[in-house]
Amino acid sequence: MITVSNLKKTFDAVDALKGISFNIQQGECYGLLGPNGAGKTTTISILSTIIKPDEGEVKIAGYDLKKSPFDCKKNIGVVTQEIALYNELSAYDNLLFWGGMYKVPRQELLERMDETLELMGLTDRKNDKVKTYSGGMKRRINIGTALLHRPKILFMDEPTVGIDPQSRNLIFEVVEKLHKEGTTIVYTTHYMEEAERLCNRIGVIDSGKIIAQGTLNELRTLGSMKETVVISYTNLTNECFNTIEKEWNDLQRIDDTIHFYSMNIQGDLSRIILKCNEFGLDIRHIDIQKINLETIFLSLTGKQLRDK
């Protein structure tokens, strides 16, 4: 559905994209994960025809982006990072305006507007001016404006930035519903839990390059990353630790805690606890640190995904 090859873009001598390539199949939800400034928005902006690439090829729904931009535009819906709505208009009028931009036939548009308002949980407030809405409600209607022409492909550029948990959950449900109905979704985020929950495949982007891509399980196997069991003891002695160290290769002691590293934490956890009992160690606390996108990103780039 989307083919991107060797995409490059430079802004004032800064290489925003350094030749990225990826393919997205029909009906897939593809997550583009990366920190601020990684190149996510530039990628989405090129795919949604807002800016032109310096090099590279893009095919969207079978159309070449350079040769047939208008055919590409007809097949895509774009949820911009900004809440791009007319604040002085009601949600209803905003939907009417944005639906009109895609030349949806009037009667069909009115029906779809009602469905969209229902989907976004805003039917009761449809006649209120958007400026009276909360941030989450604005985000929801912002998404709604991108759905009226029933796009085959939906680009969502960090659609949950700065919103309340209720709206976030509703947006997740909407994305899951659209995905289930067969819409191809490209979802950019720097929230790993969103990508983990919503996306079939994830591309990790950093400094204008895709540094890894695949399913979450595929990404987990990259770099032979290990999960960690952190156990705190009340009576850990040097003697005990030395004995454990002889039997367990990959571990580290920090004060009263031992970090056990394992490729198969589920299988090894009971063995570790049995060993501790055997040595008469009194366990105060156990923490299991599983591999997630945050740790994958840290392992791949040496950087945190978000500023702490």
Partner 1 sequence: MMLTFVLPIIFITLFAFIFGKMNNSEENHLMSLVHSVAGISVFMLLFSVAGIGGSLLDEKQEGILKKLLCSPMPPDYILFGKLVFAIIISIIQLSIMFTYAWLFFGLDIMHHLPSLILMIFAIAFACSGLGIVLASFAKTRQQVQGLSSIIVLVMSALGGSMIPLFVMPEIMQKIAVFTVNYWGIQGIYDIFWKLVPLRDSIFLSKVFVLFCIGIFFNFIALLMFRRNILKML
Q: Rule CB under 8 A: which residues touch partner 1?
A: 45, 48-51, 70, 73-74, 76, 78, 80-86, 98, 101-103, 145
Q: Give least dist CB 132 to partner 1, A.
A: 17
Return the H-helix or E-strand segment holding 211: strand 209-214
Q: Are 135 and 162 in contact (CB under 8 A)?
A: yes
Q: Give least dist CB 50 to partner 1, A.
A: 5
Enter the tokens of residue 177: 């519903």
CB closer to partner 1, 40 vs 220: 40
Q: Give least dist CB 135 to partner 1, A.
A: 14
Tell how strand 209-214 and strand 201-206 pair up. antiparallel
Our CA angle for 128, 107, 150, nearest 5°, is 80
Q: Give least dist CB 80 to partner 1, A.
A: 5
Complete edge-to-edge strand list for the sheet that includes strand 184-189: 76-79, 153-157, 184-189, 29-33, 201-206, 209-214
Q: Are 264 and 233 in contact (CB under 8 A)?
A: no
Q: Are 53 and 4 in contact (CB under 8 A)?
A: no
Q: Give least dist CB 96 to partner 1, A.
A: 14
CB closer to partner 1, 102 vs 279: 102
CB closer to partner 1, 48 vs 188: 48
CB closer to partner 1, 154 vs 202: 154
Residues 131 and 90: their CA atoms lie apart, in Å, by 8
CB closer to partner 1, 38 vs 78: 78
